[in-house]
């Protein structure tokens, strides 16, 4: 039952600086107490499987919840709404299509391998398309995109002992600093 209530997390810092905070996950917010943890750490709006499943056009993905394709469509609408407000925002998205053990292959993609690699390739394309969409938006100039994996390994590859992470459009002039962190 430890939700790290006393930890200082990025959304806590940003909320104190006036950011709108939004969290969306294709799976249930009840899984691993995600909803409770995110609410304790300053996320003002939370959406998960139970809040999303009845939206017209939503497609179920793997056993965890809605498909990444559906999630990206929802988040595009939400980002467009947030960008119209006169406040900076933090939007966190948790996708599912490549989550082990139940990867989901979206039929909008084509199969090449006939195994889990197809789901990864498809999810990569959808993530790329989403990033390209963000980069075309008026708000992109002042937006940093951070992509972070949630496991060291998955059903398709093993990357050693580091969790995948990449930063797109970071603030210029920052110096790399070693520190302990967790997703």
> Closest by alpha carbon to 101, among 72, 63, 68?
63
What pTM value is reported for the model?
0.87
Residues above pLDDT 90, as percent of the chain: 58
Q: How many CA atoms lie within 13 A of 33 on its CB side?
A: 9
Cβ distance 92 to 24 under 8 Å? yes
CB-count exposure of residue 96 (10 Å: 0-12, 13-18, 19+): buried
Confidence band (pLDDT; 50, 70, 90) for 153?
low
Cβ distance 24 to 94 under 8 Å? yes
pLDDT digits 0-9 by tens, 27-38? 999 998 999 999
pLDDT (average), residues 45-64: 89
Q: Which alpha helices (DSSP H) does the chain contain, by range?
A: 10-16, 34-40, 49-52, 68-84, 116-135
């Amino acid at each position: 039952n430890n939700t790290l209530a006393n930890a200082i997390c990025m959304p806590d810092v940003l909320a104190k600086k006036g950011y709108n905070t939004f969290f969306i996950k294709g799976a249930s917010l009840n899984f691993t107490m995600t909803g409770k943890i995110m609410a304790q750490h300053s996320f003002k709006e939370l959406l998960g499987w139970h809040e999303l499943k009845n939206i017209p056009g939503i497609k179920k993905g793997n056993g965890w919840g809605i498909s990444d394709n559906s999630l990206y469509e929802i988040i595009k609408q939400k980002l467009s709404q947030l960008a119209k407000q006169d406040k900076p925002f933090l939007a966190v998205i948790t996708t599912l299509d490549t989550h082990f053990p139940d990867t989901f292959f979206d039929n909008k993609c084509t199969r090449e391998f006939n195994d889990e690699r197809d789901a990864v390739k498809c999810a990569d394309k959808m993530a790329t398309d989403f990033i390209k969409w963000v980069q075309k938006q008026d708000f992109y100039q002042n937006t940093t995109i951070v992509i972070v994996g949630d496991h060291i390994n998955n059903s398709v590859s093993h990357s050693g002992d580091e969790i995948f992470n990449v930063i797109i459009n970071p603030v210029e002039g920052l110096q790399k600093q070693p520190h302990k962190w967790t997703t």
